[in-house]
Amino acid sequence: LTFLWRQKKLQSVYETQVVTYLPFTLFPSPVPKAALLQALAVQTHFNTLVDKISQDPDFLGEALDRTIQADDFTAKLFGIYKTVQQEGRTQSIVMGLIRSDYMVDQREDGTPSLRQIEINTIAAGGFGVSDQLPVVHRYLMLINHGDESKRIQDQSRTREMTAALAKAWELYGQQRAVILFLVEDMQISKLTHRYIEKELWKRNIPVIRRKFDDVSRKGSLDGDKRLFIDGVEVAVVYYRYGYMPDNYTEQSWDARLLMERSLAVKCPDISTHLAGTKKIQQVLAKPGVLEKFFPEQPEVMEQIRATFAGLYTLDMGPEGDQTVAKALTSPEKFVLKPQREGGGNNYFGEDIVQVLQAVKGDKRRAAYILMDRIQPRTEQNILLRKDLPLKLTSVCCEIGVLGAYVRHGGEMVLNEVTGHILRTKSIKNNDAGIIGGVTVFDNPLII
Ligand code: ADP
Ligand code: MG
Ligand code: MG
């Protein structure tokens, strides 16, 4: 053993097989009831909106045109989208498992208002293992505060999110076909994936887990574009990976294209992935744009718009110039966002000035958008995660509302709000991220 350890072999096995608890807060954090209800009430409309955007090539093309000239990652995704578009769509079953995130902005006059931070359309997480957290928090509240425990709601979000995967599988209509979980090399959320997998096995839906590398070595399409891997047909590809540039090698890009061209249902397909970019979020906030998607439902449009924060273009032109000027004058009022996911990519304060000074004169600036900075309520809590000190901390919270939909051709066969999550971080951190080591799971204590 010592020999193997010195050879680094055992050491690497040990280091890659660590299991630790899900990071969480010791207590639930207060969340205003009206804000949470508002976020839950608008979710099915966001599901519809994301789906509509994904079906609108003109809108996607126009909205992302300058961004893809400045951002290589978005350009690569867009390249796959174009290829699939030109070949013609093969699959009329479309689905989304998405999460819309919010903070409660504490205005100067004291009124709280719900503000959307972003929508995640690929590998949206937060359900799975965390479904146990209400039980933990309710128990802690029960022993400390008696009846208060009733203010923590139960969650069956994994079962409900899984129902959409099951529906898509069922519509695909091949009893022996599997759902493929496309997973990361370093499988940080594996136990959550297993939670989802268990729900699927309960319905006799087989699951396989594969990496991009497995797909590039062993994946193939038959004459009807059915996707096969290791001899089994794939009904649904569920991406839990593939949302960041460093998730990809040249071969993985080919594997992604192979899957996108296939008859398998993709969760999400490439156009739904693109619908979740920060650039699309910014374009949606422009006057007149939401109207196009909900021409006959002004009340729906208003409900969606009521959650938007100020969002500003950085495309070349007078409007973008104004954005630059505004950001350079008062950087503390804004967040600068590139087209990235997973936390830790945004710029705050003086960093905004540095980045903008470097790119403000040319089209590279179109890789970013600018957003009003939200000032969330501050709470006190204890963050339990093995890399943080155990102490009472000033924290702020981000609500996440989960949504699931399945469309078959022109018909929405499932459109649900499937639960909510709460994630909490120290106010000392500007950006966030569960995997990045900043954020922990929490539960809203309804106030
Ligand atoms: P990602 O896709 O990387 O999660 P987000 O837009 O969610 O990108 O930003 C990451 C984090 O940065 C958020 O979880 C939040 O903590 C912080 N953040 C993002 N936008 C704002 C904002 N407008 N105001 C304040 N904080 C923000
Ligand atoms: Mg995101
Ligand atoms: Mg986020």
CATH number, residue 368: 3.30.1490.50
Q: Give the bridge partners for 62, in sequence order.
A: none
Per residue in 103-113, pLDDT (tens digit) is 999 877 778 89
Q: Give the bridge partners for 424, in sequence order.
A: 397, 440
Instruction: Out of 373, 390, 424, pick the residue that ends a domain.
Output: 373
| CATH number, position 63 | 3.40.50.1760
Closest CA to 200 of 242, 236, 233: 236
Does a cis peptide bond (omega within 30 degrees of 0) precede residue 389?
no
Whether residues 215 and 175 fall in one domain: yes
The CA-atom distances, in angstroms, between 154 and each of 133, 151, 160, 163, 418 are 9, 10, 13, 18, 12
Tell me the ligand closest to 337's alpha carbon: 1
Q: Which pLDDT does position 9 carry in this prediction?
A: 55
Let me know if residue 3 belongs to a domain: no
Helix (H/G/I), strand (E/B), else coil: 80: helix
Whether 117 is in the pocket of ligand 1, judged by its Cβ within 6 Å, is yes
Whether residues 200 and 284 fall in one domain: yes
What is the predicted ipTM?
Answer: 1.00
Instruction: State which ligand 1 atom lies nearest to the alpha carbon of 334.
Output: 23
Please give the DSSP secondary-structure letter assigned to residue 339: S
Q: Which pLDDT does position 110 carry in this prediction?
A: 75
Instruction: Out of 373, 407, 424, pick the residue that ends a domain.
Output: 373
Whether residues 323 and 407 fall in one domain: no
Whether 105 is in the pocket of ligand 1, judged by its Cβ within 6 Å, is no
Backbone angles phi, psi at 399, to 5 degrees: -80, 140
Per residue in 292-301, pLDDT (tens digit) is 999 999 999 9
Backbone angles phi, psi at 25, to 5 degrees: -85, 150
Whether residues 349 and 385 fall in one domain: no
Let me know if residue 440 belongs to a domain: yes
Whether residues 233 and 281 fall in one domain: yes
Taking the C-alpha atoms of residue 238 and residue 201, their distance in angstroms, rounded to an integer, is: 15
Whether residues 366 and 386 fall in one domain: no
Whether residues 134 and 247 fall in one domain: yes
- Give 333: exposed, middle or buried? Use CB within 10 Å, 0-12, 13-18, 19+: middle
Average pLDDT over residues 195-209: 97
Whether 99 is in the pocket of ligand 1, judged by its Cβ within 6 Å, is no
Q: What is the average pLDDT value for the chain, to the nearest integer?
A: 94
Whether residues 94 and 199 fall in one domain: yes
Instruction: Out of 328, 344, 373, pick the residue that ends a domain.
Output: 373
Closest CA to 215 of 251, 188, 168: 251
- The yes-or-no verdict on residue 389 having pLDDT over 50 is yes
The residue whose two tokens read 């529906």 is: 167
Whether residues 203 and 330 fall in one domain: no
Q: What separation in Å is there between the alpha carbon of 242 and the centre of ligand 3?
A: 16
Whether residues 327 and 435 fall in one domain: no
Whether residues 190 and 320 fall in one domain: no
Whether 179 is in the pocket of ligand 1, judged by its Cβ within 6 Å, is no
- The yes-or-no verdict on residue 270 having pLDDT over 80 is yes
Whether 436 is in the pocket of ligand 1, judged by its Cβ within 6 Å, is no
Instruction: State which ligand 1 atom lies nearest to the alpha carbon of 429.
Output: 16
Instruction: Name, of 135-144, 195-204, 386-395, the range with top average pLDDT.
Output: 195-204
What is the torsional sign of CA 406, 177, 128, 273? negative
Tally the domains of the chain.
Answer: 2
Instruction: State which ligand 1 atom lies nearest to the alpha carbon of 101.
Output: 7
Let me know if residue 22 belongs to a domain: no
Check if the beta carbon of residue 29 is closer than 8 Å to that of residue 387. Answer: no
415: domain range? Answer: 29-309+374-446
Q: Whose CA is nearest to atom 18 of ligand 1?
A: 431
Share of the chain above pLDDT 90, in %: 84
Q: What separation in Å is there between the alpha carbon of 400 and the centre of ligand 3?
A: 9
Q: Whose CA is nearest to atom 3 of ligand 1?
A: 343
Please give the DSSP secondary-structure letter assigned to residue 377: P
Whether residues 108 and 228 fall in one domain: yes
